[in-house]
A = this chain, B = another copy of it.
């Protein structure tokens, strides 16, 4: 199961972080862009090729120390189907290098439509007698606003292909409270969503106490993070909001259990643009990313209990 593999990989690398690959063209070093545009012109294809080259460089430097990548679909769809091809090729490359892939798509729909997303992103698509992976991710982020009809098709596919999901529960943005903090009786909307996650996870439990149904809970709300960690003991957390958005190691530490597991913390811009912050030669962008990934790992590991498989 993907959730078991993710936890094992985190413990093996002693690193509960994921590198968010949200590649904007402005992040990509000039020498990579020049090469791609010289060959393909100023086209979506040229941009997509530049992003792929940039991603591969990052993956090469991160794959032995960071357990997973989290490509954000939006930054690939922005470049049309050429960008989506780069998403696929990035995922394929990361998987070849042994990394786990969390596709950040926040997909949501119902019934057979949700099943189509699940098959496309996590499962195998039937074409004649062939079964072919559309994207072959290990996890997909999803939005539970439509209730069980939107999640059940996913957990079925997760069970069939040993994959996992992360459901949005309490997001890291300033306006997340407009709906998520509103009270339904004496519970906040995010608590209700959290309870649904615990329920949905019951049929797809992994071996370390966490199910294939994870939750997205932002580092920017440490109080709710602490509260939800307690109320959702079987739900693994994907934690955005560290670094650029303001969350620190102390804040994210609440996402972890007493065994130092239970969460994976994302950083995107911090890692991707480390070379700009450092002011080093742009050709060293990937090595700068590695240095930042190590700094982030050490920062977070110092704030949580030593990891041990429960």
Contact = CB atoms under 8 A, between A and B. Distances in A.
Interface of A: 22, 24-25, 37, 42-44, 46-47, 72, 74-75, 77-81, 83-85, 87-88, 106-114, 116-117, 119-121, 125-130, 132-135, 143-150, 168, 171-180, 182-185, 189, 192-193, 196
A78 B87 CA distance: 14
A39 to B, nearest CB: 14
Contacts of A46: 127
B184 A107 contact: no
Contacts of A172: 110
Given A81-B81, A84-B81, A135-B77, A128 B175 contact: no
A105 to B, nearest CB: 9
A79 B126 CA distance: 9
A74 B174 CA distance: 29
A125 B44 contact: yes
B192 A176 contact: no
A145 B143 contact: yes
B79 A85 contact: no
Contact of A149 (B84, B168, B176, B183): B176
Contact of A147 (B128, B150, B179): B179
Given A143-B106, A176-B146, A113 B72 contact: yes
A132 B25 CA distance: 14
A178 B147 contact: yes
Contacts of A80: 88, 120, 125, 132-135
Given A146-B175, A184-B184, 11 more contacts: A42-B130, A44-B132, A46-B127, A77-B121, A108-B108, A108-B143, A143-B143, A143-B145, A145-B179, A149-B173, A178-B196
Contacts of A175: 146-150
Contacts of A79: 120, 125, 127, 134
A43 B127 contact: yes
A85 B77 CA distance: 11
A162 B259 CA distance: 52
A37 B263 CA distance: 44
A141 to B, nearest CB: 9
Contact of A88 (B81, B150, B182, B193): B81
Contacts of A72: 109, 113, 116
A94 to B, nearest CB: 16
Contacts of A174: 149
A129 B126 CA distance: 41
B74 A127 contact: no
B176 A147 contact: yes
Contact of A109 (B43, B74, B88, B112): B74
A47 to B, nearest CB: 5
Contacts of A127: 25, 42-44, 46-47, 79
Contacts of A75: 113, 116
Contacts of A81: 81, 84-85, 87-88
